Structure 1
């Protein structure tokens, strides 16, 4: 398999990963705010991950002769490592699913700060002990402490934002207060669809007029369009989901570490350590995503196909 062996190549890979890790949350949040069901978005995301994993495994995983290739390792007795890899895929899936709801309840910036910081705090600590303390603790853990402070600050920002939004909604006129009280209900949604043209992305249209960002009218308009309704919900729900997502993300790296380095010596003597298990990780990822999607929405695949058809009709109508 192909391996990056230079520091320069590793730095380039890190920069690429940081770029993509910073863009996909914004795109998925935008889709939810336009009314697209998170189950459908996540199903698209999971299918794409699976396809990318298979392509990478069958290309880069087959290059070179210095290490066992991907297809070679499929026939080896490395099931303990595969199970660790699949466990990593499961917790990664749970984290990604939870994050989609955390974005709606807490907001993109706060969610990313808290989940990333929890991932660093717990994941770094677990990996430090798994790797037999090879890193210098006096340098490593002060940085971890900074991320722990970021978790506390992110929680405080969420509380401040929630209080600010409540104050904005209270400042609405009596008519808008009535709208706020009934926002998200079927009666209001039907009236809005007929009178204001408020429709979600699943039905192939959007609101023609946009309120100024940050205002109470903007919050009400956003609540009408988005697929996850948050008005009237306890603010602690969002933080709980965010912390759960952070814990799930933090367990992925140690599971990945155990799968590739076998610190617990679960492999038989002579069996090579698992090198490229992207396909196994994403297989577990895809399996869980489909299972949760089918459980959350009845006839999920039929709903997904209807969604795709509506999107195609919407794009065709705009040409």
Structure 2
């Protein structure tokens, strides 16, 4: 079994993991905004994501000679009849992770990358890390729980940012040149704020486009233009819908970490005393497979059904859809290798580096602002709330890293479970 021993190299791998796992959601969001059906995108993504995860698990878990107290990957696969309770825990974690990823794909459309990933990461800590604390008791509680409180504040600030930004968009749309101009002569029944009807947006003609030749991010025209192209229509939806999806996804993500922790460390003593605990790479394989099976099964079901306003499709249509397929396949590779780097780096870097992966929503926020113009031309209130949310989240991650204690490994295989205990990336991006 391959073990990373160089601490400097491990930190570099963790930083690479941070970048990769913070980038792949932006690629899926980009395809959705270009009109590609989310069912098609997720199926492509799932294939390469599972491929990357399995290749890494097989190659690294099989490296070196198999030892009695540390069997390699393929040897442990043949021992399922003995370690099946741990296998079930790992697969349960994969199911929770798969559900979280599926929900996130829609949450990104309704709430944006920044708010979605920060609230999900914060929920992962508030729920998942707290459960792991009681399972292991290795973090310093006097530091950990104030950090959890910071994450909780970040959750409320994220909800406020989403609400404020939605209100800003409504105000922009209400004063576009195509909205009926309100005057004192207009009937009272016509004085409500009017939003463009998504079904009639093809008939819109924008003055700004005529004069400048290009719609500027953050304008009402830009918002309507994006809505016309995207596959998941968000106009007219309730603000609570986006937040509900975000909180549901975050809750699913928070359950993965305790499940994989139990799969590897067996704190509930589900295994017989003579049975070796499940190795990290083997656990990685089982949850990756269960996550893949769940995600593909549901997406194939969604292909033939209307979901969140997304039109139905077919297997044949998916096979013919090459528009942006390379980006979806790339996203799967980024996620799979990002998780692999996290596993490898965590072996030597320990808790501090592993917890740093919690900062990946900051990378997603960067892509959200640069690629998609999130929060452009928003109100001062929205900018203040956004800044407060990012600062609070960054402070919470720092406190979380500071709370790390020394891992009391339950077995030789759990040498770097530190990279799993509180990692949002494995919960939100190991969607294999």
Separation of aligned partners in 2, 1:114 and 1:126: 18
- The question of 1:109 aligning with 2:114 is answered yes
Correspondence for 1:286: 292
Q: How many aligned residue pairs are there?
A: 293
Cα contact 2:99–2:249 (8 A) shared by 1? yes
- CA displacement at 1:58 relative to structure 2: 2.2
- The question of 1:145 aligning with 2:149 is answered yes
Summarize the alignment of residues 94-173 of structure 1 with structure 2, pairs less than 5 Å apart: 94-131=99-136, 133-173=137-177
- The question of 1:219 aligning with 2:234 is answered no
Question: Structure 2, unaligned stretches of length 5 or more?
Answer: 182-192, 207-212, 305-312, 326-432
Correspondence for 1:24: 24
Correspondence for 1:87: 92
Separation of aligned partners in 2, 1:174 and 1:311: 32
Distance 1:78 1:176, change over 3 A: farther
Summarize the alignment of residues 232-247 of structure 1 with structure 2, pairs less than 5 Å apart: 232-247=236-251
Correspondence for 2:301: 295
- CA displacement at 1:111 relative to structure 2: 0.9
Runs of 4+ with deviation above 3 angstroms: 5-10, 174-181
Cα contact 2:36–2:324 (8 A) shared by 1? no
Question: Is the deviation greater in 10-19 or in 282-291?
Answer: 10-19
- CA displacement at 1:291 relative to structure 2: 1.1
2:264 aligned to which of 260, 263, 274: 260
Cα contact 1:293–1:300 (8 A) shared by 2? no
Separation of aligned partners in 2, 1:12 and 1:297: 40
Partner of 2:321, secondary structure, is helix
Correspondence for 1:75: 78
Cα contact 1:180–1:220 (8 A) shared by 2? no
Question: Structure 1, unaligned stretches of length 5 or more?
Answer: 197-208, 313-319
- CA displacement at 1:134 relative to structure 2: 2.1
Cα contact 2:174–2:194 (8 A) shared by 1? no
- CA displacement at 1:5 relative to structure 2: 4.0
Cα contact 1:46–1:285 (8 A) shared by 2? no
Separation of aligned partners in 2, 1:293 and 1:79: 28
- Per-residue CA deviation, residues 272-291 of structure 1 (Å, 9 max, x unaligned), is 11112222111111101111
Cα contact 1:91–1:248 (8 A) shared by 2? yes
Partner of 1:78, secondary structure, is helix
- Give the TM-score of the pair, scaled to structure 1: 0.85
Over the aligned positions, Cα root-mean-square deviation in angstroms equals: 2.3
- CA displacement at 1:112 relative to structure 2: 1.3
